[in-house]
Amino acid sequence: MTLVGPSPIDGRLHPLDDPDHRRRCRETLDAEGALVLEGFFTAEAVARVVADSSPREDEAFYAASTHNVYLTPSDPDLAPDHAFNRQVVSSKGLIADDQIPADSPLRTVYDDAAFRDFLCAVLGIDAIHPYADDLSSINVHFASAGRELGWHFDNSSFAVTMLLQAPEAGGTFEYVAGVRDADAGEMAFDTVGAVLDGDHPVETLAFAPGDLVLFRGRNAMHRVTPTEGSVTRLLVVFALNDRPGVALSDSALQTFYGRTS
């Protein structure tokens, strides 16, 4: 599928097929583990998505559970206060892919071949694919006052997100790069514990509504601080894979969405 009509993407700032633009983006992502593409969506497209999404906040699913930083079950052989077992809170809500309107700018871009080719070039992968289940590909996240995303590592090698609406305060993306080496099985318990205790320095990543963010979070510990004020923080997650046919298990779907279809 290719874009028809006015694109939600600001092509003047972000010429997706320009080799030099792709190269600069990839160099930044490789060097820093994060890439912020300012003004990726036009203001009109952002306003349209916010108008579509805000009235649906009551439809969002809010998981009522805590988790460890590794997003795995606890280990009964370790102490409850061990870094592996310590629990954090994630209280944001979301609407799933099957709740995103068919004519949404989010879906237009997600399905666009040029956008996927651009992501492949920047991420250094051969192909990119949507999730094979009905819920995971595009999610809009809601974080009203007091809601947050707790410290964690991502299971996937990359994340693609875009802020849609900034809160009055809070909702800050904090991270610590290179905490662990997941491929080598290095769990970095000491560093994880220090971050959880507030004894380790953290970095912040600043971005505004309409900015596309690519982040390598498999080895970088990260969180979003609690939202403050009366304005709900809105963010879209474009979930993609470098392999076809990937779907979340029924148990994972139940955990994240409260349903399996």
Q: What is the CATH number of the domain that holds 117?
A: 2.60.120.620
254 backbone dihedrals φ, ψ, rounded to 5°: -65, -40
The 8-class DSSP code of residue 166 comes to -
- E strands, the chain, are 34-37, 61-62, 66-67, 88-89, 93-95, 138-143, 149-152, 159-165, 169-170, 173-176, 203-205, 212-215, 221-224, 227-228, 233-238
Q: Is residue 103 part of a domain?
A: yes
Q: Is residue 173 part of a domain?
A: yes
Q: Is residue 11 part of a domain?
A: no
Q: Is residue 13 part of a domain?
A: no
What radius of gyration, in Å, describes the C-alpha atoms of the chain? 18
Global pTM value? 0.93
Q: Is residue 197 part of a domain?
A: yes
- The residues, ordered by sequence, that sit 6+ positions from 52 with a Cβ below 8 Å of its Cβ are 101, 104
Q: Is residue 9 part of a domain?
A: no
User: C-alpha distances in angstroms, 181 versus 177, 178, 185, 187, 219?
Assistant: 11, 7, 6, 7, 6
* CA 204-242-257 angle, 5° bins: 70
First to last CA, the chain: 25
**Alpha carbon distance 102, 110 (integer Å):** 11
State which residues form the domain around 116.
19-257
- Residue 177: name the closest of 195, 199, 198, 156 by CA: 195
Q: Is residue 10 part of a domain?
A: no
Locate 58 and state its tokens: 């009551």
Q: Is residue 203 part of a domain?
A: yes
Task: Work out how many domains the chain is built from and give that number.
Answer: 1
How does pLDDT run along the chain (261 residues), one tens digit per residue?
444 457 999 999 999 999 999 999 999 999 999 999 999 999 999 999 999 999 999 999 998 778 999 999 899 999 999 999 999 999 999 999 999 999 999 999 999 999 999 999 999 999 999 999 999 999 999 999 999 999 999 988 899 999 999 999 999 999 999 999 999 999 999 999 999 999 999 999 999 999 999 999 999 999 999 999 999 999 999 999 888 998 888 877 888 888 998
131-167 core/surface letters (b: 16 or more CB in 10 A; e: else): bebebbbbbbbbbbbebbbbbbbbeeebbbbbbbbbb
